[in-house]
Structure 1
Amino acid sequence: MMKETNLKPNICKAIVWTSLPLLLAVFLNGCMSNIPEDLDNLGKDISISRTKFEPFLGKTEYFQNLVNVGKNSSLPLTFRLQNVRTFEGLPAPELQEKYAVKIWKNQYTGNETSVEEIEKKRVVEYHSFMEISEKNGNLTFWNTPNYPEIHTYPHQGYLFDIEYENSGGKQHFRNLKLQAKRARPYNPIDMDENSGILRNPFVYPGIKENISGHQEGADPEVEVYFLRNVSETSGSKTLTISVIDSIGKVIDIQKFSKTDFKNLVHGFNPRFEGGKVIYEVCYPIPLVSIPTKFTNTTGDQAKFELRYDRLGKDGKNIEASLGHQFAIYQEGNWEIQFWFRGQSPKFEND
Structure 2
Amino acid sequence: MKIARKFNTLNKTCNLGLLILMCVCLNGCKKLYNLPDEKEFLSVNLTYDGKSFYPILGRTTLMGNINTDHSTTPLRFEIVNPRYGDGRPYTDLFEVKPVYRWIYRYDGTEKNLEEIEAKRQLVFRPLFEVDSTGSFILWNSSTNELIEPRSKDSIDLVQNIRYFDLKVSNSGGSTVIKDFMILPWRVQDYEPYSDKNPYNGETAPDPNDPKNPKKKSYIWPSYMNGVYGELSNQALRTDDQFKDLVVYIRRFNGGNGHNLRFVFLNKNGEPINPDSFNETKWNELVHGFNMKKTATYVQYDVAYPIPLTSFPTKYTNGNSAKVDFSYSRKGFGGGLITANFGLNFKIFTKGDWEIVFHFQRENPRFDNE
Q: Which TM class, normalised by the smaller chain length?
A: 0.7 to 0.9
Q: Is the 8 A contact 1:151 1:157 kept in 2?
A: no
Q: What is the deviation of 1:67?
A: 0.8
Identify which of 130, 133, 136 aligns with 2:133: 136
Question: 1:35-184 alignment to 2 at 5 Å?
Answer: 35-63=35-63, 66-71=65-70, 73-133=71-131, 135-154=132-151, 155=156, 156-184=160-188
Aligned to 1:197: 202
Identify which of 223, 228, 234 aligns with 1:207: 223
Residue identity matched to 1:325: N
Measure, in 2, the Cα distance between the counterparts of 1:216 and 1:121: 51
Measure, in 2, the Cα distance between the counterparts of 1:26 and 1:303: 66
Q: What is the deviation of 1:318?
A: 2.0
Number of matched pairs: 319
Measure, in 2, the Cα distance between the counterparts of 1:302 and 1:80: 36
Residues 229-255 of structure 1, C-alpha deviations (whole Å, 9 max, x = no match): 2x436x451111111111222111122
Question: 1:288-299 alignment to 2 at 5 Å?
Answer: 288-296=309-317, 298-299=318-319
Is 1:187 the counterpart of 2:178 in the alignment?
no
Residue identity matched to 1:256: F
Measure, in 1, the Cα distance between the counterparts of 2:297 and 2:26: 90
Measure, in 1, the Cα distance between the counterparts of 2:300 and 2:190: 18
Q: Which moved more, 1:195-204 or 1:338-347?
A: 195-204
Q: What is the deviation of 1:29?
A: 6.4
- CA 1:289–1:25 in structure 2 vs 1: closer, same or farther (change >3 Å)? closer
Residues 45-64 of structure 1, C-alpha deviations (whole Å, 9 max, x = no match): 42211111111111111126
Measure, in 2, the Cα distance between the counterparts of 1:97 and 1:87: 20
Measure, in 1, the Cα distance between the counterparts of 2:30 and 2:121: 55
Q: Is the 8 A contact 1:153 1:193 kept in 2?
A: no
Residues 88-125 of structure 1, C-alpha deviations (whole Å, 9 max, x = no match): 22111101111222222222111111111111122222
**Structure with the greater alpha carbon radius of gyration:** 1
Aligned to 1:342: 361
- CA 1:153–1:31 in structure 2 vs 1: closer, same or farther (change >3 Å)? same
Q: What is the deviation of 1:75?
A: 2.1
Partner SS state of residue 332, structure 2:
coil
Identify which of 339, 348, 357 aligns with 1:329: 348
Partner SS state of residue 250, structure 1:
coil
Q: What is the deviation of 1:288?
A: 1.1
Structure 1, unpaired ranges of 5+? 1-23
Measure, in 2, the Cα distance between the counterparts of 1:40 and 1:329: 42
Q: What is the deviation of 1:266?
A: 0.8
Q: Between the two proteins, what is the percent identity of the paired residues?
A: 30
CA root-mean-square deviation: 2.2
Measure, in 2, the Cα distance between the counterparts of 1:194 and 1:25: 66
Partner SS state of residue 254, structure 1:
helix
Q: Is the 8 A contact 1:157 1:180 kept in 2?
A: no
TM-score normalised over the length of structure 2: 0.81
Measure, in 2, the Cα distance between the counterparts of 1:89 and 1:274: 59
